[in-house]
Amino acid sequence: MPRFEQIFYSDHQGDPSDSKTCILIHGAGGNSLYWPPVIRRLAGYRMLALDLPGHGKSGGYGCQSIRDYAKCVTDWMLGIGAPRAYVAGHSMGGAIAIAMALQFPQQVRGLVLVGCGNKLSVAPWLLEATASAVKFKTAVEKIVQWSFYPETPVRLKKLATQRMLESRPSGLHSDLIACDRFETGDQLRSINCPALVIHGEDDKMIPIAQARFLAASIPNARLEIVPKAGHMVMLESPKVVSDKITEFFAAISS
């Protein structure tokens, strides 16, 4: 398990108080830049966007277990002096956020689950392709193709492809193993913090039915569906997503 000093993160000091701190956790094969600036610099909040171990500018290696990632993030929070915060996660990052709320409830003030589900099954051929240097580029291109709404600007898809190709192949493969092993079962009902579930209407990676299941199973959760958006909803509709997060934070902190 990497030391917290090895974790790279950006720190937008919108508000230094513990009650207004939010941790942003990216998805499989990603890094903190997968959160657009309007979310990483959310007005009035201290926004901490990290690169998970073995991703982006962070040291160490990726995990093959969502629980291990959850332990790593909570250790990092304690190490930097942010013991309790809202936690927002995209896709695999959402699974990590759920695991944190289940394993370390005292550290999670609220959840924002973006493009996430109660399970993150991965096709066997994709696991095989990400384990192969020859097939890695094809695997990344297919992931990006499935991740965006068809009318999303080509430049955004190209940028996402470039960023993922820069990731360590072993890291993406480990992430997908962690995703494939993740399933909440009936544990969601024990989450006792407020939750916001945000999902793209055209998400082909994680069926919208799974987002509905999350929102129905977490006792104090609400669901927001974003039209004309896919799995990368926060990149496709950044203003819409940032507004929904701001409204959620305001509602649960008032």
> What CATH number is associated with residue 97?
3.40.50.1820
User: Residue 80 is part of which domain span?
Assistant: 4-253
How many domains is the chain partitioned into structurally?
1
What confidence tens digit (pLDDT) does each residue in 112-131 have? 999 999 999 999 999 999 99
Which pLDDT score, from 0 to 100, does residue 254 have? 60
pLDDT of residue 3: 53
**Predicted pLDDT of residue 167:** 83
Q: Which pTM value belongs to this model?
A: 0.95
So what's the pLDDT on residue 5?
62
The residues of the chain scoring below 70 in pLDDT are: 1-5, 18, 254
The radius of gyration computed from the CA coordinates of the chain, to the nearest angstrom, equals 16
Q: Alpha-carbon distance 226 to 228, whole Å?
A: 7
Query: Three-state SS across 9-43?
Result: EEEEECCCCHHHEEEEECCCCCCHHHCCHHHHCCC
Instruction: Give pLDDT, residue 191.
Output: 97
Reported as a single tens digit per residue, the pLDDT across 227-246 is 999 999 999 999 999 999 99
156-175 pLDDT per residue, tens: 999 999 989 888 888 899 99
**What confidence score (pLDDT) does residue 19 get?**
73
